[in-house]
Structure 1
Amino acid sequence: MKPISVKNIRQCVNGQLMQGSDDFLVNDIIYHYQKMGPNKLLFLKQKWQIDWEKIAQSAPCVVVTDIAYDRLKSIENCTIIKVQDIEKAFWRFVNFYRNQFSIPVVSITGTSGKTTTKDMIKHILALDRNVTGTKTSANSRTHHLTYLLSIDKNTNAAVFESAVGSPGDVLTASRYFKPTIGIITNIGVTHLDGCKTLEAYHQAKAEMVQAVGKKGTLIINADDENTKRIGLKDFQGKVLTFGITHRADFRATNVQYGNNGMQFVLKFRKKMYPAFVPGYGQHQVLNALAAFAAVYKMGISMAEVVNRIESFRNLPSHLECSIGMGGCIIVDDTWNSNPISLKAAFQALNGISRGRKRIALIGDINALGELSLDLHRQVGKMIAENGVDVLITVGSLAAEMGKQAQKDGLNGEVYSFPDIKGVLLFLEKILDENSILLIKCSAKNHSIIKLKTRLKRRRTN
C-alpha cells in the first residue's frame, strides 16, 4: 500500500489525536488485532476481546478507536486516534484510500467463470501494465481490505472478484473497490444456503448494475437467460455484451475444439479476428470474450488482445487434462461444482472425447439450500441430454442425478456409491487408453480429491 501519515488518517476519519505524532507513517491497515505488527494501523472495535499484550508487542503502531483508551495510553509508542464511531471511521478511510487512485478497476461476479475471466484480464494487461487483483479464487469479504491496499502509486489497473454468499455482498465489495467496469459472467444457481431463494440469488448478482454506477461500464453475457432478466432500463452507464449464440458486441463464431484449447473467430465492429484460447469448452470462449470487452475499455486493440490470450494458462483443476490409470485421459474439473459448471463440463467432455469411452465421476453439489434435491435432479436431466457412457456418482444427492438421468433416457450405465469406498476398484476395471474420465466435484470434497490424486499417479508407462 501507499504509506500514509497519521495526520492524513486523522483528518480523513474525523478523529482526534490523543497520543503520538502526526508525522508517523503506517504501511498497512488491519481490522483484526491478531494481525497486528509494527507500523500498522488498527481499527479497534469495542466488541472484541482485546489482547492488549499483542498490541503492545506491535509498537510502534497506530490505533483508531471509539472506546475508552486508558489501556492504550499505557502502551509506549502507540499512537491513538479517537473517533465517535469506529464503523463510520473505517469506511471514511476506505473511501479516502480508494479515491487517491484514478485507475480502471474491474469487478467480476457470476456463478462460474469469475476466476478464469479475472486471470485472463490480468494476463492480457500484464505485458505492459502493473496490475493487481484477486489471488486465485480467494474472493471472500475478509480479503477486500487487503486487496484494496494492494493498489499503490505504481498500479495501472485492478481486477477483483465479487463473490455472492448472501445478498449485499457485491455492493459491499463495491464500497471498497468502486469499480469502473463490472462483469457478470453468468447467473446460474449456488449459495442458496445464504441467499435462500433463486430470486434473491439472482438479485444479488444483479447488484453489479448499481455497483458500477452512472459512469461505469457493465459487461454482460448475451447468451445467458437469467442475465437478460436484469433490469437495465434506468442504468445510465455503458453496456457491452458478449456471446456465441446471440448477437453481441463481442461475438465468437466458428467455435471449434482444437489442440489444448478452443479456436474461434472474434467478430467485433464488423471486423473478424481469428483467435485461440487455451482451455476447453464453449464457456472458456465466453470467459475470453468477457475479458476482451474489459481490456478493450482499457484501450487495448483487439488484434493485440487475440495475440496475448494465446499464452494464457488456466489454474489447475479447470478441465485440466492428464494421463492417468490405465492410460486413460483424466479431465480434472474439481475446482468448484454447481449446475452451470457441470453442464459446461459435460459439453466439454463431449467435445474432447473424440470417440473414447466417456466416463464421469460426480460428487454431491453443495450450498444449494432447500432446492438441493430438485436441482440435483435437474442436473441429472442435463446429463441425459448431453450423454455419457458411464456415470459414477458418489454421495446420496449425486445418486439422485443418476436416477434422474436414467428416467430421462440416459443411454449409458449408472453406478451410484454412497461414499468413496469401492470406487477405485471399480475404476481399475474400466479405465484404459481408450477411455476419458471426467472428475467433477468441489475442492472441498476431500475423498474424491484424494482419489483423483491416486488416479493421476497410477498411469501406465
Structure 2
Amino acid sequence: MKPLSIGYIKQVIAGELLQGSDDMFVQHGAYRLKQVRHTHTILFLKGKIIKWDRLRPYFPIAIVTEYGRQTNERDEDVTIIKVKDLEESYWKFIKDYRKSIDIPVIAVTGTSGKTTTKEIIRHLLMADRKIAFTNSTNNSRTVHLANLLSIDENTEAAVFETAVGAPGDILNAAAYIKPTIGIITNIGEHHLNYCKTLKDYIEAKGEMIRSIQPGGILILNVDDERTIQLDKNQFTGKVLTFGIHNSCKYRASNIIYSTDGMHFTLEHNQMIYRMFVPGLGEHQVYNALAAIVAVHQIGMSFMEIKDRLKSFETLNRQMQVCVGPNGSTIIDDSWSITTTSLKAALEVLKNVGKDKRKIAIIGTITDLGSWGYIIHQRAGEIIAKSEVDCLITIGKHAKIMGETAGKLNPTIEVHSFNNHILAYPFLRNMTDQSTVVLVKGDMYSEAVKKLAMLLRK
C-alpha cells in the first residue's frame, strides 16, 4: 500500500479526528479484526471493539468508526476517526486509492484455467516489472481489499483472479480493482449451488464485460460457445479473441505434445511464432494464449514472451506426471474438477496413454447444489465418449458418473469406492509399466488427495 497520512485519509472520508495525529501514516488496510496483521493499519470497523488485546500487538493502529472514543489507550498507539456512515466512508477510501493508480490491471475469470492463466501472466511480467497479483488461488470475497492495497507506488502491473461463487462476485471484485483488461478463459458448469441455474452462472461470468474500465480490453476464448455468445453490445472497449479451431486475433496451430509441455505455433497478424508452454494438454495452450494476449497488449514482444514462457513452472497437482506403482505413469490433476476440466484431463490421458491401458480415477464434483445428479450424469457421458479403459470413482456422488458411463459404454470397466482405503490396494494390483492413471478430483476431497499422494510414492 502507498503510505497515506491520517490527515489525508480524514479529508477523503470526511471524518473527524477524535484521537491521535494527522501526521501518522498507515500502510495496510482492513475491515475485520482478524485481517489486522501489521502495525500502521487503518481498520474500518463496524460495531465496537471488545478485544483490545487482539489489536495491541499491532499498535500503532488507526480505527475508523461511527462510534465515539472507545479506549483509554495512548494517542500515539490508537488513532480514532469518527464518520457518520462507515460504509460510505469505506468506499470513498477505496475509490480514492484506486483513482491514484495508473497501471494495467488484469482480471481473469473462467470455469477452468483462471489460476494457471493468472500465473502465466505473472511469470511473463515479473522478469522486469514489479507485479501485484492474487496469492495462489486465494480469490475469495474477503481478499479484494488486500489485492487493491497490494498495489503501491512501485507497482507496474497487476493481475488478479475474479472467481464466481454467486452472482455479483465479479462486480464486487471490480468495485475494488477496476480492471483495465478482463479475460474470460471459458464458461462451463460450476457453483450452481449459489447461482441456481446455468443461465445465472453464465450471466455471473459475463459480469466481467461490465467490469472493465472505459476504453479497456476484453479478451475472449473464441472456441468456447458460451463465452463468445455473451452480450457485448454495451462494451465500448476493444475485444480481442484467442483460440485454436476458429478464426481469431491470436490463434494456435500445429500443436504437439512433448514429455513435459506443449509446442504450438502462434499466428497473429499474418506472422507466426513457434512457442512452448510447460504443462500438458490443449487446455494449457488456451491458458498460454489468454496470457499472451494480455501481456502483448501491455507492451511485451513475442520474442520476449517466447523466451520467458518456456521457463514457466506448472502448478502443484495440476497435470503433474510422475512414476507410480509398478512403473506405471501417474497424471495427478487432483486440484479441481468441473465438467470442462474433466474433458480436458481425459484428452491428456488419451494422448499420454497412447497404446497403453488407460485408467481414470474421478472424484465428486462439488458446489453443484440441486444440479448434482444432472452434472454427474453429464460427466459420465463425457467419460463414456473418452478412450478410458477402466473408470474408478471415489465418493457417493461420483458413483453416478460410473453408472452413466457404464451404461453408455459397456466396454469401460467401472469400479466405485467410497474412499481411498480399498481403492489403493485395488489399483496396485492392476498397474504396471503399460498403464497410465489419471487422478482427477477436487482440492476439498481428502480421499482423492490421499489416493493421489499414495500413488505418487
TM-score (norm 1): 0.96
Partner of 2:441: 441
Quote the Cα distance in structure 1 between the aligned partners of 2:69 and 2:10: 19
Partner of 2:112: 112
CA deviation map 1:240-278 (0-9, x unaligned): 000001111110011121231111111101111111111
2:52 is equivalent to residue 33 of structure 1: no
Stretch moving more, 354-363 or 283-292: 354-363
CA contact (8 A) 1:333 1:439 kept: yes
CA contact (8 A) 2:19 2:69 kept: no
The one-letter code matched in structure 1 to 2:449 is I
Partner of 1:43: 44
Gap regions ≥5 residues in structure 1: none
Partner of 2:71: 72
Partner of 1:362: 362
In structure 2, relative to structure 1, the CA distance for the partners of 1:103 and 1:410 (3 Å cut) is farther
Quote the Cα distance in structure 1 between the aligned partners of 2:399 and 2:35: 44
Quote the Cα distance in structure 2 between the aligned partners of 1:247 and 1:382: 26
2:274 is equivalent to residue 274 of structure 1: yes
Structure 2 matches for 1:6-155, cutoff 5 A?
A: 6-36=6-36, 37-46=38-47, 50-56=50-56, 58-67=58-67, 69-72=68-71, 75-77=74-76, 78-155=78-155
CA contact (8 A) 2:334 2:452 kept: no
CA contact (8 A) 1:385 1:410 kept: no
2:421 is equivalent to residue 454 of structure 1: no
Stretch moving more, 10-19 or 50-59: 50-59
Instruction: Give the secondary-structure state (helix, strand or coil) at the position aligned to 2:175.
Output: helix
Instruction: Give the secondary-structure state (helix, strand or coil) at the position aligned to 2:287.
Output: helix
Quote the Cα distance in structure 2 between the aligned partners of 1:383 and 1:182: 32
Quote the Cα distance in structure 1 between the aligned partners of 2:455 and 2:167: 39
Structure 2 matches for 1:22-421, cutoff 5 A?
A: 22-36=22-36, 37-46=38-47, 50-56=50-56, 58-67=58-67, 69-72=68-71, 75-77=74-76, 78-421=78-421
Quote the Cα distance in structure 2 between the aligned partners of 1:91 and 1:334: 39
Stretch moving more, 121-130 or 201-210: 121-130
Q: Percent identity?
A: 43
Quote the Cα distance in structure 2 between the aligned partners of 1:264 and 1:58: 51
Quote the Cα distance in structure 1 between the aligned partners of 2:108 and 2:55: 36
Quote the Cα distance in structure 1 between the aligned partners of 2:83 and 2:444: 42
In structure 2, relative to structure 1, the CA distance for the partners of 1:70 and 1:7 (3 Å cut) is closer
Quote the Cα distance in structure 2 between the aligned partners of 1:282 and 1:102: 35
> Once the 2 structures are TM-superposed, how far is the Cα of residue 303 of structure 1 from its aligned partner?
2.5
CA contact (8 A) 1:439 1:452 kept: yes
CA contact (8 A) 2:221 2:242 kept: yes
Quote the Cα distance in structure 2 between the aligned partners of 1:35 and 1:295: 32
In structure 2, relative to structure 1, the CA distance for the partners of 1:120 and 1:74 (3 Å cut) is closer
Instruction: Give the secondary-structure state (helix, strand or coil) at the position aligned to 1:70.
Output: coil
CA contact (8 A) 2:66 2:82 kept: yes
> Once the 2 structures are TM-superposed, how far is the Cα of residue 417 of structure 1 from its aligned partner?
1.6
CA contact (8 A) 1:332 1:439 kept: yes
CA contact (8 A) 1:164 1:191 kept: yes
Stretch moving more, 397-406 or 239-248: 397-406
The one-letter code matched in structure 1 to 2:135 is K
In structure 2, relative to structure 1, the CA distance for the partners of 1:303 and 1:30 (3 Å cut) is same
CA contact (8 A) 2:69 2:80 kept: no
Quote the Cα distance in structure 2 between the aligned partners of 1:427 and 1:138: 33
In structure 2, relative to structure 1, the CA distance for the partners of 1:226 and 1:193 (3 Å cut) is same
The one-letter code matched in structure 2 to 1:39 is H
CA contact (8 A) 2:318 2:333 kept: yes
Stretch moving more, 170-179 or 412-421: 412-421
Quote the Cα distance in structure 1 between the aligned partners of 2:184 and 2:393: 31
Calculate the aligned-residue CA RMSD, in Å.
1.4
Quote the Cα distance in structure 1 between the aligned partners of 2:92 and 2:141: 18
Quote the Cα distance in structure 2 between the aligned partners of 1:32 and 1:158: 24
The one-letter code matched in structure 2 to 1:302 is F
CA deviation map 1:275-310 (0-9, x unaligned): 111111110000000001100110111222122211
> Once the 2 structures are TM-superposed, how far is the Cα of residue 331 of structure 1 from its aligned partner?
0.3
TM-score (norm 2): 0.97
CA deviation map 1:160-185 (0-9, x unaligned): 00000001000111111110000000
Gap regions ≥5 residues in structure 2: none
In structure 2, relative to structure 1, the CA distance for the partners of 1:104 and 1:298 (3 Å cut) is same
Instruction: Give the secondary-structure state (helix, strand or coil) at the position aligned to 2:234.
Output: coil
Instruction: Give the secondary-structure state (helix, strand or coil) at the position aligned to 2:429.
Output: helix
The one-letter code matched in structure 2 to 1:223 is D
Quote the Cα distance in structure 2 between the aligned partners of 1:199 and 1:227: 12
Quote the Cα distance in structure 2 between the aligned partners of 1:370 and 1:203: 19
> Once the 2 structures are TM-superposed, how far is the Cα of residue 342 of structure 1 from its aligned partner?
0.5
> Once the 2 structures are TM-superposed, how far is the Cα of residue 60 of structure 1 from its aligned partner?
2.2
CA deviation map 1:59-82 (0-9, x unaligned): 322111112x23236554321111
